Amino acid sequence: MVRSRGHSGAAEACVDCGRIEGVAAKIRFTKAAAAVVSSAARQRGLTFAGFVGDAALAVALGKTPLQGSPEDDPIRPLVEAVERLTAQLRRVGNNLNQVAGAANAGATPEYADDVLARVETVLDRTHRFLDQFTAERS
């Protein structure tokens, strides 16, 4: 297919350069999963992106079954725990900003003590989590 203005985004031949242009996709891997994929790509003489693209296409075409999942990543539980802590910190941080804004305006919201208690709770959970993680890695 000849490349034209307003192309669909599907892979198309570039007449001027003789190469195929494709759609770029951004995907995320944990460091552990990326290391496994990188190793497999190197063993086959492929780039990381080439290996991932070939593997995804093979599964999509039904040439190979999908056998892995994010749960197979050895540090997936850590990633999920950090995501939960981050969400809690974000919520508490938003509330804390509201309290600070009110205090700067000369008022003390009735929920200020509750927000500060939640900050302490989240900090305690974060420290316990980090202590447990450090102990497991030692």
Percent of the chain residues topping a pLDDT of 70: 83
For the entire predicted model, the pTM comes to 0.43
Asked whether residue 6 carries a pLDDT value surpassing 60, the answer given is no
- What's residue 17's pLDDT? 54
**Pick the residue with more confidence: 66 or 1?**
66
State in Å, rounded, how far the first CA of the chain is from the last one: 57
- 27's CB contacts (< 8 A; 6+ apart) are 52
Please write the tens of the pLDDT for every residue from 97-123.
Answer: 999 999 999 998 888 889 889 888 888
Least confident window among 60-64, 83-87, 130-134: 130-134
